[in-house]
Amino acid sequence: MPLQNFPSPDSDVIQHLPLYYDRPKMGKPGFLLTPFTTKLADGTPVAIRSLEREDIPGVHRIFEQAVQRGQGFGVDEIPPTELIEGIISGSYPGHAVVGELIESGRYLVAVMYVGPSLYCRSSTPVHADCYGLVDQSFGSRGAARFFGS
């Protein structure tokens, strides 16, 4: 059966998305999560906020714990400092969020990154993936619930 009354691709009836480079990018400076405080399942108070440069040692600590447990990351898969700085500054697409113990001096309990899929075989990925890691001592205390794990 032939299509009837199908509009021309040049018609105003068809709405086109803007080109990928005209769309807003999450990692650009100015896209910041409004920090908020909450409690883990065991009552431990935590702050949820955007990743900052001072958090990089804590991110590496959480990745190193996962390597030691053999849970999905090899030593050569820990993101280098330059990549994390790029996510923070916006030069690398995506956004990272952390959970920090309140009054701890930046002790991170979890980190989550949302950005272009690493598994998409395209120079301009059209969908995002989410990756999250939790400090091993907080794994059974409800930290992963904030990140949808």
More confident residue, 73 or 112: 112
Alpha carbon 6 to chain centroid, angstroms: 40
Mean pLDDT of the region 48-66: 91
Strands 95-101 and 128-134: unpaired
Spatial separation of the C-alpha atoms in residues 20 and 137, rounded to whole Å: 41
Bridge partners (DSSP) of residue 95 are 114
More confident residue, 116 or 148: 116
Residue type, 122: S
Whole-model pTM?
0.70
Mean pLDDT of the region 35-44: 87
Mean pLDDT of the region 31-53: 85
Structure tokens at 2: 């032939």
pLDDT value of residue 92: 79
Tokens 């989410």 label which residue?
Answer: 130
On the question of pLDDT at 81 being above 80, the answer is yes
CA angle 19, 5, 11 (to 5 degrees): 30
Mean pLDDT of the region 117-123: 67
Return the exposure string of 40-64: e unless at least 16 CB atoms fall within 10 Å of the residue's CB, then b.
beeebebbbbbbeeebeebbeebbe
